[in-house]
Amino acid sequence: MPRRKRPAILLLVVAIALIAAACSSSDEPTITVGSANFSESALVAEIYAQALEAEGLPVKRTLNVGSREIYATALESGELDLVPEYIGTMLTFLGGEATSDSAATHAALQDEWAPKDISVLDYASAQDKNGIVVTRATADELGVTTTSGLAAFNGTLVFGGPPECPNREFCLIGLQDLYGLDFVEFKPLDVGGPITVTALESGEIDVGLLFTSSAVILAKDFVLLEDDLGLQPAENLAPAIRTEIIVAYGDRVSNALNAVSAALTTVELTALNKRVEIDGEDPDKVAADWLTSNGLVE
């Protein structure tokens, strides 16, 4: 008699196990990864997504959502679970005050966002912020590697940047007040775009403002001068993620994303941007190549 009942008992045990597994699986939320609507943000979001998938975590992509006003609201409401963020700009957006100190800016952002159940994980050394750029020929001729080095040539150089630059503390005002720079002329151009690039290459300007991870810096062999006096606020990239996702998955999520941040530098980010924006490569492949080359996925 017991032998006849054993198969039924076994079937019951298996059924219970399957039901339990199904319930457990349904309790694990899919992580919706979003980004702002520009290529660098979408590329970093793809890197995050692939790093999580390599850990066996369920991921959904909703990239190129829009401006910060849109994706930050979506993150706070739960429509998105994870986005790449620039710590200084986001802190300012939330009403805080960013400085050139990455650690302090990161900590302040964590404090600002925590009440809305958003966690900010480790920040990368990679930053995308205002950068002062010269051509390789100009850097060699003047012998400069830092922004402060330009002061030795006061009254002789033409500076080009966004039209609003003369009225911005992190642009011409800061260059004058903090660095003591005195340009012979300021030329209003575009916001780190092709007009500025052309003006630098043609010699129309000697010094230009581009973003520090701009692909054209590498493509054109420009020299990004060090912001040695710390004019620009920290704009390190960091994963902003809903705290409930960390609670659901624990260290599996945090470790995967923090490993990405530990490996991502401004130089590497610039190279990745070049592959996507100038060389026209598939962002998915670029992300996969980078993760593999850094030993973050097999």
Q: What is the pLDDT of residues 51-70, one digit of tens each?
A: 999 999 999 999 999 999 99
In the predicted model, what is the mean pLDDT of residues 238-244?
A: 98
> Does the fold of domain 130-225 match that of domain 29-127+234-293?
yes
Label residue 28 by pLDDT band (50, 70, 90).
Answer: confident
Owner of token pair 């990368």: 124
Q: What is the pLDDT of residue 161?
A: 95
Q: What is the mean pLDDT of residues 222-245?
A: 97
CA distances from 249 to 48, 77, 215 (A): 15, 20, 35
CA distance 197 to 216: 8
Average pLDDT of the segment spanning 180-184? 98
pLDDT of residue 298: 83
pLDDT level of residue 73 (50, 70, 90 thresholds): very high
Q: How far apart are CA 62 and CA 151, in angstroms?
A: 46
Distance (Å, rounded) from C-alpha 39 to C-alpha 275? 11
**Residue range 20-26: mean pLDDT, rounded:** 43
pLDDT at site 16? 40
Confidence of residue 192 (pLDDT cuts 50, 70, 90): confident
Stretch (H or E) spanning 132? strand 130-134
Residue 210: exposed, middle, or buried by beta-carbon count in 10 A (0-12, 13-18, 19+)? buried
Q: Is the pTM of this model over 0.85?
A: yes
The yes-or-no verdict on residue 71 having pLDDT over 70 is yes
For residues 161 and 230, give the distance between their C-alpha atoms in angstroms, rounded to a whole number: 19
Assess whether pLDDT exceeds 50 at residue 1: no
Instruction: Decide if domain 29-127+234-293 falls under CATH 3.40.190.10.
Output: yes
Task: Name 273's Cβ contacts closer than 8 Å, sequence gap at least 6.
Answer: 39, 40, 43, 213, 214, 215
Query: What are the structural domain ranges in the chain?
Result: 29-127+234-293, 130-225
In this prediction, residue 65 carries a pLDDT of: 96
Q: Average pLDDT over the chain, rounded to whole?
A: 92
Sheet (strand 237-242) strand order: 59-66, 31-36, 82-86, 237-242, 118-120
Neighbours of 123 (CB within 10 A): 25
Q: Residue 42 — pLDDT band, cuts 50, 70, 90? A: very high
Residue 209 near residue 196, CB atoms below 8 Å: yes
Is residue 21's pLDDT more than 50? no
Residue 188 parent element (H or E) = strand 185-188
Residue 190 and residue 162 in contact, taking contact as beta carbons nearer than 8 Å: yes
CATH of segment(s) 130-225:
3.40.190.120
